[in-house]
Amino acid sequence: MFLLGRRLLAGPRGAAVGATVGLLGTAMVAINLLSSPSGVAACSAAQPPAVAADGKVATSVYDFTANDIDGNPVQLGKYRGHVLIIVNVASKCGYTEGHYKEFNQLHQEYAESKGLRILAFPCNQFGGQEPGSNAEIKEFAKERGVKFDMMAKVKVNGDDTHPLWQYLKQRQGGTLVDAIKWNFTKFIVDKNGQPVGRYGPTTSPLEMREELEKYLNQ
Task: Name the β-bridge partners of 122.
Answer: 89
| Beta partners for residue 189, in sequence order | 84, 195
State which residues form the domain around 85. 71-217
Number of domains in the chain: 1
Whether residue 169 is contained in a domain is answered as yes
Residue 23: inside a domain: no
Residue 31: inside a domain = no
Domain-located, residue 29: no
Q: Supply the Cα-derived Rg of the chain in whole angstroms.
A: 16
Supply the angle between the helices 13-35 and 37-44 in degrees, to the nearest 10: 90
Per-residue pLDDT at 12: 38
pLDDT at 29: 55
For the domain that residue 129 is a member of, what is the CATH number?
A: 3.40.30.10
Give domain status of residue 59, yes or no.
no
Record the pTM: 0.82
Query: For residue 134, with 0-12 CB atoms within 10 Å meaning exposed, 13-18 middle and 19 or more buried, which class applies?
Result: middle
Residue 115 located in a structural domain: yes
Domain-located, residue 26? no
Q: Which residues of the chain have pLDDT under 50?
A: 1-22, 34-45
Q: Give the pLDDT score at 27.
A: 55
